[in-house]
Amino acid sequence: MLSRSAQGLYWMGRYLERAQHQCRLLHLQTAALVDRPVQEIYFGWNRIYISVDRLPPGGSLELIDSDEFTLADSYTLADDLTFERSNPGSVWNCLAMARENARQTRNCVSGEMWSHLNLVYLRIQKMDMQDIWATSPESFYARVNSDIDTFMGVAAATMYRDEGWHFLQLGRFVERAQLLIALFLAQLATEVHFEESSEADWTSLLHTYHALEVYNRSYSVEVLPDNVLDLLVTDPLLPDSLCQSLDVIGAQLDAVGAGPNRESSAAARRLAGRLASLVSYSWPDLADRKAALQDMGGFCRDLHGLILQTYFDYHVEDSPV
């Protein structure tokens, strides 16, 4: 496969995963505006902005004990994360970039994949925050989330299982691992900022990753922070767990094989194995889980860099004259 095509599929997977992750968070956040306490709402906004490493409009978020100000702030913040063109991580930009990468790799994706993604993009292309805020913003995020799920289902049903498929999956799960770790760290950092957290904040984390029922079966109905982290990090049967993401990354690296840069290819496999080992074997015995998560976040960024060096940005030797 051409390096350019592999890179396009890798980034398409990353952008779609990023858009879906953002929609999950914003769906829960906008739904909370109806009946949740003001402090919980601001906790949620702080957690999102810390996890995406972005300053909110105005530079900071101040807790204002007023429903009117909370709704006005929420409108501005949701707009910044959803439709703001200057925000490269907004839902709109992620879908636009995913669609552009699909357009450039039309020879590698099925016609059904292209049609579905193109329709999703065209539906939101000219929308703005006013269009969704007047009725039910959470339904907009739920629909986009469902659209991306449908796209992945169409891809699973129609895409040829060559290297292109594996690069698409590799991009998705590298992005998912990074987003998981960033959100866990944001949850812990926001607790420090507010000097407390509630059971509802950790429960919303379980909702984000479709893990509440599994948690209740494993740990009972009392939601404890350490148990939530244990489940979302180490459960190999949970589709959105960090353990599952790292296992898929290792499998996809094996499937695509060694790239032109053999040295970085071997380093990427070693690092993926080290990450999987940290989660599967070392996690239960770790005393400082925040520090471990910070280390794993750095390893995931390094892994992304090694993937780029191995398959996309490798040095090409000059041909002898």
Q: Which H or E run contains 307?
A: helix 289-307
Letter for the amino acid at 220? Answer: S
Q: How confident is the prediction for the chain on average, in pLDDT?
A: 91
pLDDT at 134: 86
User: Does residue 154 surpass a pLDDT of 70?
Assistant: yes
Per residue in 197-231, pLDDT (tens digit) is 678 889 999 999 999 999 999 998 899 999 999 99
User: Does residue 62 surpass a pLDDT of 80?
Assistant: no
pLDDT at 319: 43
% of the chain beyond a pLDDT of 90: 76
What is the distance between the alpha carbons of residues 35 and 119, in angstroms, rounded to a whole number? 34
pLDDT at 198: 78
Going by C-beta distance under 8 Å and a sequence separation of 6 or more, which residues neighbour residue 169?
13, 248, 252
Residue 240: φ, ψ to 5°: -100, 10
Going by C-beta distance under 8 Å and a sequence separation of 6 or more, which residues neighbour residue 295?
278
Per residue in 264-285, pLDDT (tens digit) is 899 999 999 999 999 999 998 8
pLDDT at 197: 67
Per residue in 94-111, pLDDT (tens digit) is 999 999 999 999 999 999
User: Does residue 71 surpass a pLDDT of 70?
Assistant: no
Going by C-beta distance under 8 Å and a sequence separation of 6 or more, which residues neighbour residue 97?
11, 15
Q: What is the pTM of this model?
A: 0.93
Mean pLDDT in residue range 51-55: 93
